[in-house]
Amino acid sequence: MEQVTSLVQIKGIRDGLLATFSDAPWEDQRVALLAQIDERPAFFQGARLAMDVGTQVLKVNDLVDLRDQLSERNVVMWAVISESSTTEQTSQLLGLATRISKPRPEEQRQFANTVTDDTALLISKTIRSGTRIEYPGHVVVIGDVNPGAEIVAEGNVIVWGRVRGMIHAGAKGNRSAFICALDLSANQLRIADEISATLKPQKDPRPEVASINSEGRLQAELWHAG
């Protein structure tokens, strides 16, 4: 038992419990985590669990299965912290948080080092209500951004489709970031710390680009070729 439980470390944090996974095979660690919970059901009853899965690449089924197994033990999985962008994206699509309120200092540094100007996340589907995509680079969406969905990018956001949700480009303060879309009828747009009011839906939508103009205000303009 000593050996099994040491695969997954559980400790208390301000927001509940944090389970830290190692590089060992996911299946073994999943079993180890559940075994730890089954050992002390009273302690884990009603707990909120965040998971730091390190470099594990997890598919939807991995996370959904574990979430259901945890929920049968009355434990809520609410956040998944990962160094793999696949896992991070999966978690975001499942509505799980991918940051906890007090990120570890080394995590911050990692982002600063790994993100370069040309890092982009490509999403080839419609972003629906309740989904929040956060990315420390550019985001390209092939599909719509529906009302109630949010995209927060440190770089630019390009949507090959209709924007009706909220988009925040240049989220870390980059005032030269821009947002462009085939139809920009967003609820709200933000670039750096500027916020636009609702853009009226147009009868005959045309591609638009939103950016901060020379007067320092967020403005959307029709896109002209050339």
Partner 1 sequence: MTAQVITVTSGKGGVGKTTAVANLATALAADGKKVVCIDGDIGLRNLDVILGLENRIVYDIVDVIEGRCKLKQAMIRDKHYPDLHLIPAAQTRDKNAVSPSDMIRICKDLRPDTDFVIIDSPAGIERGFRNSIAAADRVLVVTNPEVSAVRDADRVVGILEAEEKGSPSLILNRLNPALVRNNDMLSAEDVLDLLGIQLIGIVPEDEAVIIGSNRGAPVVTDSRSRAGQAFRNIAKRLQGQEVPFMDLEQQNVLWSAIQRLTGRK
DSSP 8-state secondary structure symbol assigned to residue 137: S
30 lies in the binding site for partner 1 (CB under 8 A): no
* Among residues 41, 125, 142, 206, the one that binds partner 1 under rule CB under 8 A: 125
97 lies in the binding site for partner 1 (CB under 8 A): no
Contact range with partner 1 by CB under 8 A, out of 2-10, 71-79, 80-88, 213-221: 71-79
172 lies in the binding site for partner 1 (CB under 8 A): no
74 lies in the binding site for partner 1 (CB under 8 A): yes
Count of Cβ atoms closer than 10 Å to residue 210 Cβ: 26
62 lies in the binding site for partner 1 (CB under 8 A): no
Contact range with partner 1 by CB under 8 A, out of 7-15, 63-71, 166-174, 177-185: 63-71
CA angle, 94 as apex, 89 and 96 as ends, to 5°?
A: 85
Contact range with partner 1 by CB under 8 A, out of 5-13, 34-42, 65-73, 168-176: 65-73
54 lies in the binding site for partner 1 (CB under 8 A): no
Q: What minimum distance in Å lies between the beta carbon of 72 and partner 1? A: 5
For 140, the 3-state DSSP assignment is: strand
**E strand or H helix at 26, and its extent?**
helix 26-39
168 lies in the binding site for partner 1 (CB under 8 A): no
Contact range with partner 1 by CB under 8 A, out of 5-13, 16-24, 88-96, 206-214: 88-96
132 lies in the binding site for partner 1 (CB under 8 A): no
DSSP class per residue in 66-134:
HHHHHHHTT-EEEEEEES-HHHHHHHHHTT-BSS-SS--HHHHHHHHHH--TT-EEEE-SPBPTT-EEE
Closest C-alpha to 8, from 85, 16, 77, 23: 23
Q: What minimum distance in Å lies between the beta carbon of 122 and partner 1? A: 17
Measured between alpha carbons, how far apart are the two ends of the chain, in Å? 67
